[in-house]
Each structure stands twice: as C-alpha cells, then as structure tokens.
Chain A
Amino acid sequence: MTRADIVVLVLALALLPMLYVKFWHHGAAGDEVRIMVDGKPWQVVSLKHDRRVTVHGALGDSVLEIKHGAVRFIASPCPSKYCIHSGWLHDGGEFTACLPNRVSIEVIGARARYDAINF
C-alpha cells in the first residue's frame, strides 16, 4: 500500500462513523404522551415521572407504564396484543394503538420522528 492509499483508507474509515451518526440518529426524545380514547384526546401525561396509567377503553382497562422517559402498554384486554408488542416508545412522533380497546398513545416532543405512520 502506498502512502496515498493509507490516507484514503483512513479518511474512508473516518467517514463511516459520521454517516452512521448522521443518518441513524433518532428524533429527539419526547416530553409527554397523549392518550386518546375513542379517537378523542383523553389525557396528556408527562414522561418525566415514572408511573402507571390505567385507561378505560371500549373493552376494559388498558395499563400504560411510564419509565425513564418512555411509555409502553403493559396490559390490554385485546386478543392480539399488538399494542404490548410495540414495546417502548421514546421519541417525539412515535405512536401505537390498541384498536379493539379504542386506546391510542402518541409521544409528543419538540421534534417529531415521523409525519405519519400506518400499520
């Protein structure tokens, strides 16, 4: 390898982490979660304090857990449990729903990660 080869290789290896940081950096973390029941806003809860929220939906109670600035479904009376499988939501714009129970949650932040999501 010549000296020029080594310079190019070093520059290329320096470029790669920059690309990962630039294009794989997630949206800003969210501050609050908006809980909707039956398509109407029900409550906005801060993500700063760890707590559990019980939401009364069409079928029964869905339970949300808020911890370390993230939120997830931990229980819902639906058959398929897609809402629970969505896992933790932390970034502004992240969204999930329990359609049978008519409960949906959306993280609100200064910067949204998505404009729209479809399932």
Chain B
Amino acid sequence: MELSVQPTRADHRIAWLTALAITIHIAESALPNPLPGVKPGLANVVTIAVLCLYGWRMAAWVSLLRVLVGSLLLGTFLSPTFVLSLTGALCSITTLGAAHLLGARLPGAGFGPVGFSLLAAMAHVAGQFYCAYWLFIPHAALFTLLPVLMSMAVVLGVINGIITRTMLQRVTP
C-alpha cells in the first residue's frame, strides 16, 4: 500500500517560516546568557509576523514546530528546558489566539505587532514561571524573581514587537 501526502501551499509556507524561526532560535541559543531565565526570544518575531500576515492557525504551527525541532537540534528534547519552552509557547500562543479573536471584534485596528508581541512575551514568562514553580522549584522564594522576569518580558516584548513591525513594513508593499 502506498501512502502519498500532497503538501499544500500552506504546508510549504509553514515549513519555510518554521525553518526561519528555528534558525533564529538556534543562533540565539549560542549567545551568552548573562541573566539566567532571560533571553531575547527573537524567534517570536517570526511567530508574530506570521500571525499578522496569515492568521492564528499558521502562527500556532510555526511556534510549536519551532519548539519541537529546536529542542531536537539543541539536544534538549523532553528535558526540563523543553518542558519550560513548550509551556511558554503554549501559553503565548493561547493568549495570541484570544487577542486575535478579541482584536477582530474591536472597533478600529485591533492589536498590532507591538501589542501581540508584548502579550505573548508576558504570557510566556507567566506560564513558564508557574510551570517552574509547580514542577521544579516549589519554593516561595522563587517569586522574588517574578518582578524582574516580568520587567524583562515587557521590555523585550516591546522591542520584538517593534522589530516585527519594521519587518512587516518592508515585507508588505
């Protein structure tokens, strides 16, 4: 029996964009990490751009495939790092879905890249933090870190959003 799968144009597009996100993800993992738990999350620029250009379903595919393939390439698959990464991605993609739905109902333009990126960054940190708390370090002292991590999420989320906006202005005519 022969099983043939016909990839659609959308499948190809997901694959290309995921490859781009994975490249950024891996390049970023080579950067030194002066503050543990804080990283720029530049691969999310791709997620937000895809969300703005092609909608939420596509963005969810790109985000989750990036986490899966990125962990396989970096050798962290099924490790605590992977669990945290996946939790962060699931939380941010869920939040982005809600924001996308809400934005469509709002009068005016809804959310732009900066708003999406900020929401995604904060959801990512919040989800990851509670996951780390429940699974790995159930100690109240961990919460001392939360304000710092959340501040970094706000700063980096806005920066990534601005990068995404600039990129989209160049990509779309």
Contact = CB atoms under 8 A, between A and B. Distances in A.
Contacts of B147: 16, 19-20, 23-24
Size class of B's contact patch?
20 to 34
Contact of A19 (B114, B150, B158, B161): B150
Given A9-B118, A12-B122, A12-B154, A23 B111 contact: no
B106 A4 contact: yes
B150 A2 contact: no
Q: Is the interface of A mostly helix, strand, loop or mixed?
A: helix
Given A5-B115, A12-B122, A19 B110 contact: no
A13 interface: yes
A9 B147 CA distance: 16
Contact of A8 (B108, B118, B146, B151): B118
Interface string B22-64: 0000000000000000000000000000000000000000000
A5 B109 CA distance: 10
B144 interface: yes
A23 B129 CA distance: 14
Nearest to A115: B140
B50 to A, nearest CB: 18
Given A12-B154, A20-B147, A23-B143, A5 B111 contact: yes
B80 interface: no
Q: Counting chain B CB atoms within 10 Å of each CB, which of A2, A8, A13, A15 scores highest?
A: A8
A69 B110 CA distance: 53
Interface in B104-150: 106, 108-112, 114-115, 118-119, 122, 143-144, 146-147, 150
A13 B106 contact: no
8 contacts: A2-B110, A5-B118, A7-B115, A9-B118, A12-B118, A19-B147, A23-B147, A24-B147
Interface of B: 103, 106, 108-112, 114-115, 118-119, 122, 143-144, 146-147, 150-151, 154, 157-158, 161
